[in-house]
Amino acid sequence: MLLEKLKTYSQSDIYPFHMPGHKRRMTLPSDAYGLDITEVEGFDNLHRAEGILAGEQQRFADFAGAKDSFFLVNGSTCGILAAISAAVPRGGRILIARNSHKSAYHALMLRQLSACYVYPKISIFDIQDMILAEDIERIISAHNDIEAVYITSPTYDGVVSDIKKTAQIVHAHGKVLIVDEAHGAHFGYHPFFPESAVKQGADVVIQSIHKTLPAFTQSAVLHRCSDRIDEERIRQFLDIYESSSPSYLLMAGLSRIVSFLETEGKERFDRLAEHLKYFYEKSRQLRFLHVLQDEDFDGERDVSKILISTRSCNICGRELYERLLKDFHLQLEMYSGEYVTALCSLMDEEEGFERLLTALFSIDGTLREDKEQNDFVRCIYSRKKQILSIYDAMERQTVTIDAESAQGHVSGGYVYLYPPGIPIIVPGEEIDAAFVQDMERLKVRGLIPEGMKGPGMALDVLSRGL
């Protein structure tokens, strides 16, 4: 039974270097069922909030520095759908970072939007780096029908873009800036971590509170930070995309975050900063594994996302992830071809950092240098040619063919690794030689992306002649 399995797991010694940010260390005041209600008298209605929920949301907004905040119980996903839908009219154009989460592409499909893409720089470790404000300026100047700009900062890898500069550019062109800050709900509350986009000029900011702060999975917040985007339009779309039965447990967990940060935030942030500084310094002594440091990136970074690269030694990301779990009972957030990610939060304890260091040094001692790994590391998120809009492509007939014979076809579906949920290809893009090679390389590394079917790695492409 699932419940029994969860209980057994929670009592095991497996240490969580993954979401949710509460790290299974928060407690409820009483039995959860006793707190689980619907919109009974005195408890307001999230979709027409004017009582206690309106008050709690405004308290969050005041704390975060937003004009108003909307509690989300369907994750950042429903906030992203609502923000894009509210900012761009149906059939309009949006400038969107190509390293966006799939939920943003789904908004484009639902609203039949056309996209101009801005691509991130690629770091020396072949990780998607920051979005350059200059690139946004160039694209926005060339397309005066762009209605809004959408970027992700920080990324799943902790890469932060220059939101202040981007906002100035976007506003100078009279457009709206939406920032997916799903991975940065802890920003803006302590000098060791970057400032939040809320306070840097973004017009809408969406945060998955559950990812990095101690809140239940699915709890998120949409912050409206300026009048450039209409409050009523956001409400209308949240009404469509969000459950009509929002959980009071999740909403209570969200309002609890403000009290938590007010009372315990400073001390916990101080402690986390000390643990991280110690961890990063010690990890410099690893011989073959490499913990990515600030100097490996161009811009600012959220160091609570620890990235451990295997690029110059004789194991790949998956093998490192498996050894950490099997031999040391450390559950990491994810593995990729050449690195693994450990997510840290305010709820981490010294024990976790010590255990991770011990495990890394122990594994490192068994490794040897292997430069051939470098052959693999070219970033799989290469530039693709758009043939049709996502909506137009998804309305067409598709056939399923093996990846190796797909070059030159137009993709009929998404292909992405989950996590992070960033499409390698989206519907309507041309399948190029790099894509075919990348699928083969991922298969060799034991990474089968979503959207690829069966042992032959087949995918949906548009039927010819339609």
Ligand X SMILES: Cc1ncc(COP(=O)(O)O)c(C=O)c1O
Q: Which residues bind ligand X (CB under 6 A)?
A: 75-77, 80, 101, 103, 152, 156, 180, 182-183, 208, 220, 420-421
Q: Which amino acid is at 71?
A: F
Nearer to ligand X (CB atom), residue 390 or residue 431: 390
Residue 114 or 207 having the CB closest to ligand X: 207
Q: Nearer Cβ to ligand X, position 80 or 458?
A: 80
Beta bridge partners of 176: 148
Nearest distance from C-beta of residue 186 to ligand X, angstroms: 14
Shortest CB 75 distance to ligand X, Å:
2
Written as six digits, the tokens of 169 are 């550019």
Query: Where does residue 27 rank: exposed (0-12), middle (13-18), buried (19+ CB within 10 A)?
Result: exposed
Q: Select 154 or 412, whichever has its Cβ closest to ligand X.
A: 154
Which residue, 106 or 171, is less far from ligand X as judged by CB? 106
CB-wise, 254 or 410, nearer to ligand X? 254
Shortest distance (Å) from residue 159 CB to ligand X: 11
CB 306 within 8 A of CB 18: no
CA atoms within 13 A on the CB side of 63: 23
Residues 6+ apart with CB under 8 A from 121: 128, 129, 130, 132, 298
**Four-residue CA torsion sign, 279, 281, 287, 292:** positive
Query: What is the closest distance, in whole angstroms, from the C-beta atom of residue 182 to ligand X in the complex?
Result: 4
In the complex, the smallest distance separating the C-beta of residue 94 from ligand X, rounded to whole angstroms, is 16
**245 burial level (CB within 10 Å; 0-12, 13-18, 19+):** exposed
CA dist., res. 9 & res. 24, Å (int): 11
DSSP per position, 373-407: GGGT-S-S-----B-S-HHHHHTS-EEEEEGGG-T
Residue with tokens 């780096």: 129
Task: Indicate the residue among 212 and 255 with the shorter CB distance to ligand X.
Answer: 212
> Least distance (Å) from ligand X to the CB of residue 217?
8
In 274-379, the DSSP E strands lie at 290-291, 305-309, 330-332, 334-335, 339-343
User: Measured between alpha carbons, how far apart are the two ends of the chain, in Å?
Assistant: 48
Give yes or no for a contact between 168 and 203, defined as CB atoms under 8 angstroms apart.
Answer: no
Please report, for the chain, how many H helices and E strands are present, in that order. Answer: 15, 17
By beta-carbon proximity to ligand X, the closer residue of 128 and 283 is 128
Least distance (Å) between residue 180 CB and ligand X: 5
Minimal distance in Å, beta carbon 79 to ligand X?
8
Q: Considering the complex, what minimum distance in angstroms separates the CB of residue 64 from ligand X?
A: 16
Cβ closer to ligand X: 77 or 411? 77
Integer CA distances (angstroms), 164 to 133, 291, 404, in order: 9, 29, 44
**Closest-approach residue to ligand X (CB):** 75
